[in-house]
Chain A
Amino acid sequence: MTPLSRRELLRSAVLAGIALPALSACATPAGDGAVSPAPAAGATSAANPLGLAEDRPLEIWIFDGGFGDAYAKEIHEPMLKAKYPKLEIRHNATQEIAKTLQPRFAGGDPPEFVNNSGANAMDFGALVQDGQLTDLTPLYAAPSWDDPAVPVRDTIDSAAIELGSYDGTPYVLNYVNTVWGIWYSQKLFDAEGWQVPTTWEEFTALCETIKKSGRAAPFTYAGRHPYYIYEAILTLAAKVGGKDVLKNIDNLQDGAWTAEPVKQAATAFAELGAKYLLQGTAGLDHVQTQTAQNKGQVAMLPCGSWLENEQKDTTPADFGYAMFPLPDLTASDAMPYGTLHVQPGEEYVVPARSANPRAGLEYMRAMLSRQGAGDFMELVSTLTVVKDAGRGRTLKPGLASASRAREAAGDNTVWFLFRKWYAELHDEVAAASGQLMNGKLTVDEWAERAQRKADAIKDDSSVKKFTR
């Protein structure tokens, strides 16, 4: 039986390969596009600038994830209720947005307001293509909650609007803000008399001091996830060469990666990698490096403003999280000291085919008020896209530090989108950056590899291109 069966098995495999393509006929999903209808405007007034209809209910769906849903129940919904006592607000929370709401979108009966987040979120591109989302332009043009003279647009990070736009039309509100920087323990710095550096020479000198002190390793990053280091490289590159450096990279411009500012920034970090890294960094992940910092084994690491919250269980009580922006690399950096990488996230939408979309927009306006955003910050420990919302609030030290840095940065904020647009490019840059930090790639090789990948994506007709 043995030899026969095995040989036959092969012959039949070949037969099946030839005979079966005829069967291939059942795997293409359908989908048809439609143009998004403009939300029917009710009567507008100074008190009700978006023309919300008070006699129709407002149905709200919150993603019950890391932020919970208390912020909606306890902060934003009461604000709206206070302003429109007759408005009926129906609050809902779920961990499975798509499963719960997709049928209602399909049936033309979606709710007025959806926090489309989490692993089970609906696909934004498909929603936009389907005309399912309300154009948020009227919201951003409306007077802000706190000051009728200032439109909403001017009270929030411009990145938030840009990131929520599809082909130039804003459909998605990104509410939560993330800022990146170099994080340290205020307690450790105070105890050792170490000063926050503002220039690269000061930074390397500080690393030298820390190294010599033997107190801790100077620097580390999540070696298993080199995104953490290329994020810093690119932010520094933008600081040196201006916002267009990252814009060119996002737009897959020729030579965007081999541009001088990018190489300068990479050179600076490669030197850091060669001299000042915590032993074993390349094999450690974010949790391991961050825990090492909590234990005082390493002084500084680059990360986003979620860090304090992420580490809350391992951080000593008096650790004193704080962050500083990337130091000046040259005396002639295009952007001033304090420039930050700021990236909005956590998405909210107003379904276009809901019964009362204007109420959804008005709810967003309440969220974007100083009270709405400030209370949110305190409750869930994160920054929002609303400018200066943290002022005068009692925030945890790390969050307060990030909030101050964000305020100080003003309009000097940079961001990049290729990570979301072209996952392949992100993977390649991450892989190459890890090797750059290990000293296995030179700066030129690193830049060339990133550029080659960007060029390949540009030439790949199957990949949809985005520009900003």
Chain B
Amino acid sequence: MAGAVIVRGRAHAREERRRRLGPLSALTHVALLVWAVLVIVPIVWTFLASVKSEDEIFGDAWSLPAFPRFDNWARAWEQAHVGQYMVNSVVVVAFSTFGTMLFGSMAAYVLARYRFRGNRAIYLLFVSGLAFPVYLALTPLFFVVQNMGRVPVVGPFIGLNTHGGLVLVYIAYSLPFTVFFLAAFFRTLPGAVAEAAFVDGASHTRVFFQVMLPMARPGIVSVTVFNILGQWNQYQLPLVLLTSAKDKWVLTQGIADISTAAGYDADWSALFAALSMAILPMLIVYTLFQSQIQKGLTAGALK
């Protein structure tokens, strides 16, 4: 009886909605379309400008290129070193995201599932980092990294103007969120499987890597997406830590530089090509994995 009411109510509500939204529907689409246009047009405009000649770029903004000049892309890739910057970004983010996930999940796991003295304190130490503005740490961080460069043997790989140094800093600054999120995730996992593994004589380390980590997969994926995006888009930290080694710059630095200092080359079409090169891979990767990425990011925000 009750079920029938709900079913009837549901059908009724849907009917109702269709009826009331009728005139609104057109407006709804207009509003959505307007914002979609606002988002897409600047991006498409950039792509168009990337195959324009210098003259066309300085001419009317809304004119189409007479014919597409793909040599702009070649120039940006080679002369503006966009290729180099992109490789640098990929290398840095690959290592730093891997490191973040490895160390972050290790710390989160131990903090979430083992009781020991100091557990709470260490956990709070990590998550407190979420509330600190990175700009406060910027100045001393510069000198910390500079001093790390003086450490014997490994110094040259982790000092200022090295990718190693940047990777370590990325990892450290990604830990608060990673530990915070993953610790929560590990806490929710059932303990039975791990118990069984222990009974079978597996070590703690093995249980972590072979049992718990695979079980935490959804959480790991979310945080990985979050970290890749965050580190790929980072501008502030490389700006401070890679200042004087232009060949080590990451993509964000390179693009910002092309728009300002490297204006000396007056190569405007290469700027747009470089910009398109920075945008396009992100859009493609995003479109391919969009539902995963959206879920990952919003899950991160909702926790």
A contacts B: CB pair < 8 Å: yes
Q: Which residues of A have CB within 8 Å of B265?
A: 313
Residues of A within 8 A of B189 (CB): none
- In the complex, are the beta carbons of A13 and B132 less than 8 A apart? yes
B124 touches A15 (CB 8 A): yes
Residue of B nearest to A297 (CB): B58
Contacting A at CB under 8 A, from B125-165, are 125, 127-128, 130-132, 140, 143-144, 146-147, 161
Query: Cβ of A99: which chain B residues have Cβ within 8 Å of it?
Result: 161, 245
Chain B interface residues (CB < 8 Å from chain A): 54, 58, 124-125, 127-128, 130-132, 140, 143-144, 146-147, 161, 180, 184, 187, 243-246, 263-268, 303
| Stretch of A23-31, A344-352, A380-388 at the chain-chain interface | A23-31
- Report the nearest A residue to B140, measured CB to CB: A27
Residue in chain B with minimal CB distance to A20: B125
Are A8 and B127 touching (Cβ within 8 A)?
A: yes
Determine if A290 is an interface residue (Cβ-Cβ < 8 Å).
Answer: yes
| 7 A–B pairs (Cβ distance < 8 Å), ordered by A | A9-B127, A15-B124, A15-B128, A24-B140, A120-B245, A288-B58, A313-B266
Contact yes or no, B140 A295, CB < 8 A: no
Interface check A291, CB cutoff 8 A: yes
Identify the closest chain B residue to A314 (Cβ).
Answer: B266
Provided the pairs A286-B263, A287-B263 are in contact, do residues A96 and B245 lie with their beta carbons within 8 angstroms? yes
Q: How far is the CB of A315 from chain B (nearest CB, A)?
A: 10
B127 contacts A5, CB within 8 Å?
A: yes
- Using CB atoms, name the residue of chain B closest to A120: B244
Nearest-neighbor residue (CB-CB) of A294 within chain B: B266
Q: Select one of A10, A24, A120, A310 contacting B264, CB under 8 A.
A: A310
> Which interface residue of A16, A96, A119 has the most chain B CB atoms within 10 A?
A16
A311 at the interface (CB under 8 A from B): yes
Which residues of chain B are within 8 angstroms of A12 by Cβ–Cβ distance? 124-125, 127-128
The residue of chain A having its C-beta at the shortest distance from the C-beta of B131 within the complex is A13
Bound complex: CA of A292 vs CA of B59, how far in Å?
11
A290→B266 contact, CB < 8 A: yes
Chain A, interface residues (CB within 8 Å), range: 20 to 34
Q: Does A285 contact B (CB under 8 A)?
A: yes
Interface contact A16-B264, CB-CB below 8 Å = no
Contact B244 A9 (CB under 8 A): no
Q: Within 8 Å CB of A287, what residues of B?
A: 263-264, 266, 268
Q: How far is the CA of A290 from the CA of B264 in the complex (A)?
A: 10
Q: Which residue of B lies closest to A27 (CB)?
A: B143
Contact between B264 and A13, CB atoms less than 8 A apart: no
Q: What is the minimal beta-carbon distance from A11 to any residue of chain B, in angstroms?
A: 8
A5 surroundings in chain B (CB, below 8 A): 127, 180, 184, 303
**How many A-B contacts are there with CB distance less than 8 Å?**
73
Known A-B contacts A120-B245, A286-B263; A27 and B124 likewise in contact (beta carbons under 8 Å): no
Q: Which residues of A contact B147 (CB under 8 A)?
A: 26-27, 29
What residues on B are CB-neighbors of A119 within 8 Å? 243-244, 246
Chain B min CB distance to A96 (Å): 7
Contacts of B263 in A (CB 8 A): 285-287
A398 to B255, CA, bound (A): 31
CB neighbours (8 Å) of A96 from chain B are 245
* 5 tightest Cβ-Cβ pairs between the two chains A and B: A12-B124, A12-B128, A27-B143, A287-B263, A13-B128
Q: Are B124 and A8 in contact (CB under 8 A)?
A: yes
For A9, give its contact among B130, B144, B146, B187 (CB under 8 Å): B130
- Chain B residues, CB < 8 A from A26: 144, 147
CA distance A286 to B267 in the complex (A): 13
Task: Give bound CA distance, A119 to B245, whole Å.
Answer: 8
Query: What's the nearest-Cβ distance from chain B to residue A395, in Å?
Result: 21
Give the distance in Å from the alpha carbon of A9 to the alpha carbon of B177 in the complex.
11
Distance in angstroms between the alpha carbons of A313 and B53 in the assembled complex:
13
Contact of A295 with B58 in the complex, beta carbons under 8 Å: yes
Residue in A2, A8, A10 whose CB lies within 8 Å of B303: A2
The interface centre, meaning the residue of B143, B161, B187, B264 with most chain A CB atoms within 10 A of its CB, is B264
* Shortest Cβ distance from A287 into B: residue: B263
Q: Is the Cβ of B264 less than 8 Å from the Cβ of A9?
A: no
- Chain B residue nearest to A290 (CB atoms) is B266
- B128 contacts A28, C-beta separation under 8 Å: no
Write the chain A residue with the least CB distance to B143: A27
A225 CB, min distance to chain B CBs, angstroms = 10
Instruction: From the candidates A9, A24, A27, A313, name the one contacting B128 in the complex (CB within 8 A).
Output: A9
CA distance A8 to B266 in the complex (A): 52
In the assembled complex, the CB of A407 is this many whole angstroms from the nearest CB of chain B, namely 27
A10, B245: Cα distance in complex, Å: 38
Contact of B266 among A1, A11, A13, A311 (CB under 8 A): A311
Interface mask (A11-54 → B, CB under 8 Å = 1, otherwise 0): 11101100000001011110000000000000000000000000
Tell whether A98 is near chain B: CB-to-CB under 8 Å: yes
Within residues 256 to 304 of chain A, which ones have a CB less than 8 A from any CB in chain B?
Answer: 285-288, 290-292, 295
- Are B144 and A27 closer than 8 Å at their CB atoms? yes
* Distance in angstroms between the alpha carbons of A292 and B144 in the assembled complex: 46
CA A99 to CA B244, docked complex, whole Å: 10
Contact check, A29 vs B124: say whether CB atoms are below 8 A apart.
no
Q: Least Cβ distance of B178 to chain A in Å?
A: 14
**CB-CB < 8 A to A120: which residues of B?**
244-245
CB distance from A221 to the nearest CB of B (A): 15
A9 to B264, CA, bound (A): 47
Set B125, B180, B244: member contacting A98, Cβ < 8 A: B244
Mark contacts of A78-112 with chain B using CB atoms, 8 A cut-off: 1 yes-contact digit, 0 otherwise.
00000000000000000010110000000000000
Q: How far is the CA of A425 from the CA of B178 in the complex (A)?
A: 43
| Cβ A9 vs Cβ B131 within 8 A | yes
Residue of A nearest to B261 (CB): A119
| Sample of 8 more A-B contacts, CB < 8 Å, known A2-B303, A13-B131, A314-B266 | A1-B187, A5-B184, A10-B131, A27-B140, A27-B143, A291-B266, A295-B58, A311-B266
Could you say which residues of chain A place their CB within 8 Å of the CB of B264?
287, 310
Report chain A residues within 8 Å CB of B58.
Answer: 288, 291-292, 295
**Which residue in chain A gives the minimum CB-CB distance to B259?**
A285
C-alpha spacing A25/B180, complex, angstroms: 28
Q: Give the chain A neighbours of B184 by CB distance below 8 A.
A: 1, 5
For residue B130, which residues in chain A have a CB less than 8 angstroms away from its CB?
9, 13
* Distance, CA A448 to CA B27, complexed state (A): 55
A295 CA / B268 CA spacing, docked (Å): 15
CB pair A310–B266 under 8 Å, yes or no, is yes
CA distance A11 to B140 in the complex (A): 24
For residue A304, give the distance in angstroms from its CB to the closest CB of chain B.
12
C-alpha spacing A314/B268, complex, angstroms: 11
Which B residues are in CB contact (< 8 Å) with A16? 124-125, 128
Q: Cα distance A24–B264 when bound, in Å?
A: 42
For the complex, what is the distance from the CA of A98 to the CA of B128, rounded to whole Å? 38
Task: Write out the residue numbers on chain B whose beta carbons fall within 8 Å of the beta carbon of A29.
Answer: 143, 146-147
Distance of B27 from chain A, by nearest CB (Å): 36
Nearest CB of chain A from residue B49's CB, rounded to whole Å: 14
**Within the assembled complex, what's the spacing in Å between the Cα atoms of A1 and B180?**
11
